[in-house]
């Protein structure tokens, strides 16, 4: 067999194998999209933006059957939605972390917007550090490919030539490029949604705006701005922890806080109920206080 034939057969086999774990997601008015089986309990992962309604959701199974599904929950900030169907014996694919994936590797984008599995081919264009989506979601690592996002491919997997799934593709997280939400980002979101039905977010109870730090502090802290507290809610975690109007927050748990987004991004769900170290400037002096993070309702 020629090497070309071997490559061609391997790609077709990867499509066929992973295709057994792909479902059609009927959750919006226009064209259906794609979902991927997460576990054998009928949990399906897809893109949040393709599930525009919360009810009357349907899943098209690889065997042609259409079954009802319920929305477990969604995280619009990372464009992940989790559905559940009563269907059993779904084929669970090999969800992989990004170890070993390199720029230039061949990858396939798969979809099942209709009855059949469809595939496009591309290469990994860029792998980079952790990033935040425009909506504020934290993504473990940046993964961009040049795969063609065929209509209905959102929510479908990015597949390596060995049939491993590196994440799910979204055509809307960033405009004009195909980015993949990595498996390592999806896993904790799915766990949290299955447990709580929503993503927990930490909460301090402050209103803030960025301000320029005095030159001496700027040099000492290595950052140009901090967050001036312009509101502290009564009985909030911030007030209980002793934060006051006029304080300038400069760091949360060791991470610099320069703009409001950095404070929001730092208040992840796992911090709820735990003490966070807040570094702040008060009266020209640097202080550090412990605040028990509340949960955003």
Partner 1 sequence: MGIAAAEFEAVGEVEIGGSDRLRQLNDDISDAIDRAYHALVQITNGERSIGAGTIWHSEGLILTNAHVVHDEQPNVTLNDGRKFPARVLYYNAELDLAALSIEASGLPTIEPGDSKHLKPGQWVMALGHPWGVRNAVSGGIVIGMGAEMPDIPFSSREWVVVSLHMRPGHSGGPLIDTAGRLIGINTMISGPDVGVAVPVHVVKKFLKDSMA
Residues belonging to the active site: 49, 79, 154
| Identity of the residue, 50 or 252, whose beta carbon is nearer to partner 1 in the bound complex | 50
Q: Is 70 in the site for partner 1 (CB under 8 A)?
A: no
Q: How far is the CB of 137 from partner 1 (least distance, A)?
A: 28
Q: Is 205 in the site for partner 1 (CB under 8 A)?
A: no
Q: How far is the CB of 121 from partner 1 (least distance, A)?
A: 4
Collapsing DSSP to helix, strand or coil, 280 comes out as strand
Q: Is 16 in the site for partner 1 (CB under 8 A)?
A: yes
CB atoms within 10 A of CB 88: 8
- For partner 1 (CB under 8 A), the number of binding residues is 29
Collapsing DSSP to helix, strand or coil, 230 comes out as strand
With 0-12 / 13-18 / 19 or more C-beta atoms within 10 angstroms meaning exposed / middle / buried, residue 173 is: buried
Q: Is 34 in the site for partner 1 (CB under 8 A)?
A: no
Q: What is the DSSP string of 163-213?
A: S-EEEEEESSSSTTSEEEEEHHHHHHHHHHHHHHSS--BEE--EEEEEEEP
Q: How far is the CB of 201 from partner 1 (least distance, A)?
A: 36
| Identity of the residue, 16 or 270, whose beta carbon is nearer to partner 1 in the bound complex | 16
Please, which residues have CB within 8 angstroms of residue 163's CB and are 6 or more apart in sequence?
Answer: 13, 14, 17, 18, 93, 94
Among residues 31, 128, 135, 177, the one that binds partner 1 under rule CB under 8 A: 31
Q: Which two tokens stand for residue 273?
A: 């109920």
Q: Is 23 in the site for partner 1 (CB under 8 A)?
A: no
Which stretch in 3-11, 55-63, 190-198, 268-276 sits in contact with partner 1 by CB under 8 A?
3-11
Which stretch in 12-20, 67-75, 90-98, 235-243 sits in contact with partner 1 by CB under 8 A?
12-20
| Identity of the residue, 121 or 265, whose beta carbon is nearer to partner 1 in the bound complex | 121
- Phi first, then psi, for residue 288 (nearest 5°) are -135, 130
Which stretch in 83-91, 147-155, 241-249, 251-259 sits in contact with partner 1 by CB under 8 A?
147-155
Per-residue x/- track, 103-122, partner 1 (CB under 8 A): -----x----xxxxxxxxx-
How far the first Cα of the chain sits from its last, in Å, is 61
Length in residues, the chain: 297
Q: Which two tokens stand for residue 137?
A: 């979601």
Residues that bind partner 1 (CB under 8 A): 2-5, 7-9, 11-16, 19, 31, 108, 113-121, 148, 150-152
């Amino acid at each position: 067999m020629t090497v070309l034939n071997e490559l061609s057969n391997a790609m077709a086999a990867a499509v066929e194998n992973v295709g057994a774990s792909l479902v059609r997601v009927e959750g919006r008015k226009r064209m259906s999209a794609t979902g991927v089986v997460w576990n054998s309990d009928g949990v399906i992962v897809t893109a949040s933006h393709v599930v525009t309604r919360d009810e009357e959701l349907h899943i098209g199974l690889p065997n042609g059957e259409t079954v009802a599904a319920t929305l477990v929950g969604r995280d619009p900030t990372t464009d992940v939605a989790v559905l559940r169907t009563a269907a059993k014996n779904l084929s669970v694919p090999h969800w992989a972390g990004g170890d070993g994936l390199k720029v230039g590797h061949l990858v396939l984008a798969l979809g099942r917007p209709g009855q059949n599995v469809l595939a496009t081919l591309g290469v990994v264009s860029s792998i980079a550090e952790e990033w935040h989506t425009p909506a504020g979601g934290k993504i473990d690592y940046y993964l961009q490919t040049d795969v063609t996002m065929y209509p209905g491919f959102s929510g479908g997997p990015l597949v390596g030539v060995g049939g491993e799934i590196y994440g799910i593709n979204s055509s809307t997280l960033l405009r004009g490029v195909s980015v993949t939400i990595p498996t390592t980002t999806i896993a904790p979101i799915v766990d949290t949604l299955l447990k709580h039905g929503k993503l927990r977010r930490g909460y301090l109870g402050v209103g803030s705006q960025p301000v320029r730090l005095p030159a001496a502090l700027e040099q000492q802290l290595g950052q140009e701005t901090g967050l001036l507290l312009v509101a502290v809610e009564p009985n909030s975690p911030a007030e209980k922890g002793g934060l006051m109007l006029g304080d300038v927050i400069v760091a949360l748990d060791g991470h610099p806080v320069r703009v409001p987004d950095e404070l929001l991004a730092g208040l992840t769900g796992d911090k709820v109920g735990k003490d966070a170290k807040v570094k702040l400037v008060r009266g020209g002096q640097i202080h550090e206080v412990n605040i028990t993070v509340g949960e955003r309702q």
